[in-house]
């Protein structure tokens, strides 16, 4: 709890800057994570391609980072280094709230050339920074998870926590959203996505909110196993002679 408190207090102290940094007009456009194609992993990938959708806000979009340094791009590399033939589409949009994410979800899903096997969801941080009602955040996130469940797409839910200055009542309503929804919709939960960097200023950009490229690597290291385990297990084809 101490680490979380230290980090969140820092995030709160720069609230105006963070809101400005997350404005939709300022960050670079979302990227397709193709870095693994440019730098083949030393370990050959195995099996069929595994399409993954990274859907969320600036923490996925790669705000303030160079091409190939975003969380989805580095996660793709890490998965491929483990022999997983991952292809991650980065559908992160800086400034997105849960409402904005829900609004564009259908279009995003229909735009995928292949149905994703897994969706990585990072939304809610901007809701919290704007002190939006937690019940609104819950309602929007639940609609997103329900939609993905209906499509048969597994989910990794990247959790966020409320800043202390928003008060105990707000935290009591906001913080349980992620574990409760993850349990209800059988999603894999990362309780606090920024935990690996939040109390380490050298791993954060000048806004003290977004991770640096090295910070992204730390987050990837902490979460890659969760993502790999969340991928649906592939089963071999049934024996053709069985039942004949």
CA distance 237 to 121: 31
User: Which among 67, 131, 199, 207 is annotated as catalytic?
Assistant: 207
Q: What is the distance between the alpha carbons of residues 72 and 144, in angstroms, rounded to a whole number?
A: 19
Q: E strands of 15-95, at which residues? A: 46-56, 84-92
Residue whose entry in the numeric block shows the structure tokens 């004949």: 244
The reply to whether 38 belongs to the active site is no
Listed in sequence order, the residues at least 6 apart from 36 whose beta carbon sits closer than 8 Å to its beta carbon are: 73, 76, 77, 80, 86
Active-site residue flag, 94:
no
Active site residue 58: yes
In b/e form, how buried is each residue of 115-124, taking b as 16+ CB within 10 angstroms?
Answer: ebbbbbbbbb
Catalytic-role residue among 58, 70, 94, 122: 58
Enumerate the active-site residues. 58, 207, 210
């Amino acid at each position: 709890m101490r680490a979380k408190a230290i980090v969140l207090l820092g995030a709160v102290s720069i609230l105006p800057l963070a809101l400005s940094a997350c404005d939709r007009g300022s960050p670079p456009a979302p990227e397709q994570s193709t870095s693994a194609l440019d730098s083949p992993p030393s370990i050959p990938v195995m099996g069929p391609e595994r399409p993954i959708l990274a859907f969320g806000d600036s923490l996925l979009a790669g705000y303030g980072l160079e091409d190939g340094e975003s969380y989805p791009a580095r996660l793709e590399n890490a998965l491929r280094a483990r022999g997983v033939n991952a292809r991650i589409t980065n559908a992160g949009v800086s400034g997105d709230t849960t409402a904005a994410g829900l609004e564009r979800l259908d279009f995003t899903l229909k735009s995928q050339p292949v149905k994703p096997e897994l969706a990585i969801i990072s939304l809610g941080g901007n809701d919290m920074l704007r002190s939006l009602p937690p019940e609104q955040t819950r309602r929007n996130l639940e609609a997103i998870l329900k939609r993905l469940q209906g499509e048969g797409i597994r989910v990794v839910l990247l959790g966020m926590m409320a800043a202390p200055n928003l008060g105990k009542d707000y935290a009591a309503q906001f913080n349980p959203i992620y574990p409760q929804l993850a349990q209800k919709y059988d999603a894999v939960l990362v309780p606090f996505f920024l935990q690996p960097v939040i109390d380490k200023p050298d791993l954060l950009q000048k806004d003290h909110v977004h991770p640096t490229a090295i910070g992204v690597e730390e987050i990837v290291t902490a979460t890659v196993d969760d993502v790999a385990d969340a991928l649906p297990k592939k089963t071999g084809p049934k024996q053709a002679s069985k039942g004949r």
